[in-house]
Amino acid sequence: MKKPGKAIKKIDKKAPVKSKKEKTIVKQLSETFKISEDALVESTGFGKDGADIVVYAILKTLIPEGGDTKQTIKKINRFLSAMAELNPLDGFEGILISQLICTYKNAMDCFRIANSNKNIDDLFFKLQNQGIKLMRLYNQQLETLDKHRNKGRQKMTVEHVHVYKGGQAIVGEVTQGGKGVTIEN
């Protein structure tokens, strides 16, 4: 049997080292489509390094659609300006907001294709159901975002608590820790 430690060392040696000269996706995009690099980074909620992943994911969803470069630029511009306007405050929000927009776009596409069919058949219902599912997902995503921005807090106003002799009351959050492990001798 091989020792796991050795195998890891071997892989480490073979792993390609990224040269510092390599262009990031954000940089490539800003060069080909003439969009400001800072604006790209800003729209994702990430810093310069993390922005790459989000922008790459967005590109992958948008580019296969049409080969027309002008259309693609338009699409990317629209998508990123939507992201920038929805103003992600951190990376989590950046990812969530890019998902929100994708969900919305695909839901609307489902309804568009369902309605473009003149004959009503199984496909109509299938597409509509998919659209409904996606719209429901949007609801969940927006609620998650609000909860995240709110840090999960709930507001509670308590006005009068009367505790009589022998009574007990707790006002406030009650959190129970995890149960310990019991060890049998």
CB of 84 to another protein, least distance (A): 7
CB of 66 to another protein, least distance (A): 11
Is 10 a residue that touches another protein (CB under 8 A)?
no
Q: What is the CA radius of gyration of the chain?
A: 25
Pick 146 or 184: Cβ nearer another protein: 146
CB of 40 to another protein, least distance (A): 14
- Angle at the Cα of 106 (from 147 to 43), degrees rounded to 5? 55
Is 86 a residue that touches another protein (CB under 8 A)?
yes
Is 11 a residue that touches another protein (CB under 8 A)?
no
Q: How many CB atoms are located within 10 Å of the residue 89 CB?
A: 11
Is 115 a residue that touches another protein (CB under 8 A)?
yes
Identify which of 111, 106, 114 has the alpha carbon closest to the alpha carbon of residue 137.
106
> Among residues 9, 10, 23, 147, which is the contact residue for another protein, using CB under 8 A?
147
Chain centre distance of CA 180 = 35
CA distance 37 to 69: 19
Is 3 a residue that touches another protein (CB under 8 A)?
no
Q: What residues have CB less than 8 Å from 39, skipping those under 6 apart?
A: 80, 84
Is 116 a residue that touches another protein (CB under 8 A)?
yes
What is the largest distance, in Å, between two alpha-carbon atoms of the chain?
Answer: 79
CB of 79 to another protein, least distance (A): 7
Q: How far is CA 144 from CA 26, 40, 100, in A?
A: 28, 24, 11
Using CB under 8 A as the binding rule, the residues of this chain from 26 to 85 that contact another protein are 74, 77-79, 81-82, 84-85
Chain centre distance of CA 120 = 35
CB of 61 to another protein, least distance (A): 14
Applying CB under 8 A, which residues contact another protein?
Answer: 74, 77-79, 81-82, 84-86, 100-101, 104-105, 107-109, 111-112, 115-116, 118, 120, 125, 128-129, 131-132, 135-136, 138-139, 142-143, 145-147, 149-150, 153-181
